[in-house]
């Protein structure tokens, strides 16, 4: 709830350490703001200077509140005073104000843990996460460590001094690179430690789970048990709209499990049709086949690990995919980049053992007309797919883009244009770029504000998402021209999953991921002395 950079839900309220004051995110006049309410009273006060606020958290003394607006970390005092910007960050998801005056933030879309002084200043990196994204830092009593979680449901303990990451398992802490089975891990999102000795978290099916937990040894002391249902859980990262105060009072927002989503088609006239053959699930990164008949999509079941599946839209058949693709796939081939081999493996979707190897070549995209975009080192090339299995030979002339963090490349049919997403470091957000693959090599930023996940429409226009808005750009008609302005297409409560969250069919319909219809509430439930019942 709130104006997160990518439209992903976060916890929308916080309670002061002494349990007397509630601060929550409210919507007004087309934006969000923070509002204050004493838990013992009914008066509600708007906190000035908090436009665009999301994910609030209290200072240890309860006199100030930290929050985010866009990609900026800010603070404001409850008893008046100006709102202060502390730092510009990259895609932050959750903050925690420590007793030593530092504010910890899950930055870079869960890729790093950073610290900022509560008075402002430099952003100090504590940990950089590899192989996992961790968000929403939560305190852990009596330790120089915090808890965080991944969208796949891994609950981690992260040292705030060394940055070391260990996963909380059923028999103790586990190094991320030594996990042999998901069943040995505690599985859930947005953990919270409750005094005197329980750990709460949200399961994939939306239940609030509890285990007896010793923070000193970080050991789970009981089997997980459901203790509450009907709590709103947000999509993607699994943020729960729930907290427990130090005196054991439970506060939560009722609602659906936002991780259970639907696939929908949206046509050019605004009509929406649900893909009913496959029902609701925790859908992720998706890719529509060139003929529009199948979807390759990442699905996280309520039990077990996440995996890619293929959905046959005509027959309503769901089948497992051999491995996670990286680059491109079609009916007969998967192209997967293997960094250790510095090569791309090419293999049938159901048989990795038949892989062919293209050394020194990374396939980035294949257009619907068979054109291929691939990289040799940091040089990009646009060619044809005819020579793929014979190990493509790079043409004499390639091109480069200056952004080191470019991703989501999309080659336009005809091979003249490539669109991609890259970060704009100074504002901590994604932007969409368009580059010509031939001489004269030209490049433009085509999203005036934030933007990501460009795809090409059948008409040849570039379509990208800006939060919950979809925009269209027309590429130049000739060398030396300029792209047309970004124009609004439509908006809606369609989710922004990790990876690609939308695609366009050959008939022009948009494939989208739809979350629960109810996205806001005007009620919070409070239960005193709840923790004593655990």
- Report the alpha-carbon distance of residue 432 to residue 419 in Å, rounded: 7
Q: Is the CB of residue 452 less than 8 Å from the CB of residue 465?
A: yes
Joined together, the tokens standing for residue 497 give 């999953």
Rounded to two decimals, the pTM is 0.86
Q: Residue 39: how many CB atoms within 10 A of its CB?
A: 15
Domain 1-122 indexed as CATH 3.40.50.720: no
Residues 426-459: pLDDT tens digits?
555 789 999 999 999 999 999 998 899 999 999 9
Determine contact, residues 132/154, Cβ cutoff 8 Å.
yes
* DSSP designation for 531: G
Give the span between the Cα atoms of 397 and 419, in whole angstroms.
19
Sheet holding 407-411, edge to edge: 407-411, 417-424, 429-436, 443-445
Task: Say how far apart CA 522 and CA 250 lie, in whole Å.
Answer: 17
Beta-sheet strand order (sheet of 31-38): 13-15, 21-28, 31-38, 45-46
Vertex 272: Cα angle to 230 and 463 (nearest 5): 105
Strand order in the sheet with 242-244: 242-244, 250-252, 525-527
Cβ-proximal residues to 12 (8 Å cutoff; 6+ apart), any chain: 1, 2, 24, 25, 54, 55, 56, 241, 253
**Beta strands 282-288 and 343-347: pairing type?**
unpaired
Asked whether 445 and 438 are in contact (CB, 8 A), the reply is no
With beta carbons less than 8 A apart as the criterion, state whether 245 and 19 touch: yes
Distance of CA 107 to the CA centre of its chain: 11
Taken in order 355, 505, 450, 299, the sign of the CA dihedral is negative
Cα 171 to Cα 208: distance, rounded to the nearest angstrom: 21
Rounded to an integer, what distance in angstroms lies between the CA atom of residue 161 and that of residue 172? 20
Alpha-carbon distance of 13 to 24, in angstroms, equals 4
Phi and psi at 17, nearest 5°, equal -55, -30
User: Which structure tokens are listed for 453?
Assistant: 């996940």
- Cα 528 versus chain centre, distance: 34
Judge whether 1-122 and 261-514 match in fold: yes
Q: Which helix (H) or strand (E) holds 473?
A: strand 469-473
* Structure tokens, 130: 């590899």
**9 within 8 A of 25, measured Cβ to Cβ:** no
Residue 224: strand, helix, or coil: coil
How much is the pLDDT for 343? 81
Q: Which residues of the chain have pLDDT under 50?
A: 2, 390-391, 394
> Mapping DSSP to helix (H, G, I), strand (E, B) and coil, where does residue 276 land?
helix
- Classify each residue of 23-33 as buried b or exposed e, where b means 16 or more C-beta atoms within 10 Å of its C-beta: bbbbeeeeebb
Contact 150, 132 (CB under 8 A): yes
Q: Which two tokens stand for residue 169?
A: 């398992």
The residue to which tokens 């903050």 are assigned? 95
Q: Which two tokens stand for residue 284?
A: 């992720």
| Measured CA distances, 446 to 188, 268, 499, 504 (Å) | 39, 22, 20, 19
CA distance 143 to 133: 22
Say which CATH topology domain 129-259 has.
Neuraminidase (2.120.10)
pLDDT at 394: 47
What angle is formed at CA 519 by the lines to CA 514 and CA 521, rounded to 5 degrees?
165
Q: Which residues contact 522 (CB under 8 A, 6 or more apart)?
A: none
What are the extents of the domains in the chain?
A: 1-122, 129-259, 261-514
- CA–CA gap between residue 214 and residue 424 (Å, rounded): 42
pLDDT value at residue 519: 67
DSSP 485: P
Q: Within 10 A of 343 (CB to CB), how many other CB atoms are there? A: 19
Cα–Cα distance between 159 and 176 in angstroms, integer? 14
Q: What sign does the dihedral 182-184-188-191 (CA atoms) show?
A: negative
The pLDDT tens digits of the residues spanning 150-183 come to 998 999 999 999 999 999 999 899 998 888 777 7
Q: Tell me which residue of 248, 236, 243, 135 sits closest to 192, measured CA to CA.
A: 243
CATH topology of domain 261-514: Neuraminidase (2.120.10)
């Amino acid at each position: 709830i709130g104006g997160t950079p990518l439209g992903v839900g976060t916890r929308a309220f916080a309670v002061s350490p002494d349990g007397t004051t509630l601060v929550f995110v409210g919507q007004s006049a087309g934006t969000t703001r923070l509002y204050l309410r004493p838990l013992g009273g009914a008066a509600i006060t708007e906190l000035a200077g908090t436009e665009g606020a999301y994910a609030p958290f209290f200072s240890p003394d309860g006199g100030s509140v930290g929050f985010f607006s866009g990609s900026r970390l800010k603070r404001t005092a409850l008893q008046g005073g100006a709102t202060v910007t502390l730092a510009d960050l990259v895609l932050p998801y959750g903050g925690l104000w420590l007793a030593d005056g530092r504010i910890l933030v899950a930055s870079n879309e869960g890729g790093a843990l950073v610290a900022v002084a509560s008075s402002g200043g430099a952003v100090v990196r504590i940990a950089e996460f590899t192989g996992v994204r961790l968000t929403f830092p939560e305190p852990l009593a009596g330790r120089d460590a915090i808890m965080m979680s991944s969208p796949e449901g891994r609950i981690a303990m992260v040292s705030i001094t060394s940055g070391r990451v260990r996963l909380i398992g059923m028999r103790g802490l586990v190094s991320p690179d030594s996990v042999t089975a998901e069943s040995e891990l505690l599985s859930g999102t947005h953990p919270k430690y409750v005094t005197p000795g329980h750990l709460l978290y949200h399961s994939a099916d939306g239940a609030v789970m509890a285990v007896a937990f010793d923070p000193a040894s970080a050991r789970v002391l009981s089997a997980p048990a459901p203790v509450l249902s009907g709590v709103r859980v947000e999509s993607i990262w699994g943020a729960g709209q729930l907290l427990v105060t130090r005196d054991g009072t439970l506060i939560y927002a009722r609602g659906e499990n936002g991780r259970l989503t639907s696939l929908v088609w949206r046509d050019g006239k605004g009509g929406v049709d649900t893909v009913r053959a496959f029902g609701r699930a925790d859908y992720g990164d998706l890719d529509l086949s060139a003929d529009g008949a199948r979807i390759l999509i990442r699905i996280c079941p309520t039990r077990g690990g996440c995996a890619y599946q293929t959905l046959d839209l005509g027959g309503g058949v769901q089948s497992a995919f051999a491995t996670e693709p990286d680059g491109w796939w079609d009916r007969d081939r998967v192209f997967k980049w293997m960094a250790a081999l510095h090569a791309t493996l090419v293999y049938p979707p159901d048989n990795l053992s038949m892989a062919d190897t293209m050394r020194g070549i990374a396939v980035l995209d294949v257009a619907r007309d068979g054109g291929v975009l691939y990289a040799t080192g940091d040089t990009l090339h646009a060619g044809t797919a005819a020579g793929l299995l014979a190990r493509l030979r790079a043409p004499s002339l390639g091109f480069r883009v200056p952004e080191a963090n470019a991703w989501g490349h999309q080659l336009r049919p005809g091979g003249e244009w490539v669109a991609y997403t890259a970060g704009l470091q100074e504002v901590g957000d994604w932007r969409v770029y368009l580059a010509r693959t031939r001489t004269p090599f030209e490049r433009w930023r085509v999203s005036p504000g934030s933007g990501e996940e460009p795809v090409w429409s059948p008409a040849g226009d570039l379509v990208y998402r800006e939060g919950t808005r979809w925009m269209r750009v027309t590429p130049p008609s000739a060398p030396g021209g300029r792209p047309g302005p970004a124009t609004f297409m439509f908006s809606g409560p369609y989710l922004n999953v990790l990876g690609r969250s939308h695609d366009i069919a050959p008939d022009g319909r948009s494939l989208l991921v739809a979350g629960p219809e109810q996205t806001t509430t005007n009620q919070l439930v409070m239960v005193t002395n709840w923790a004593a019942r655990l």
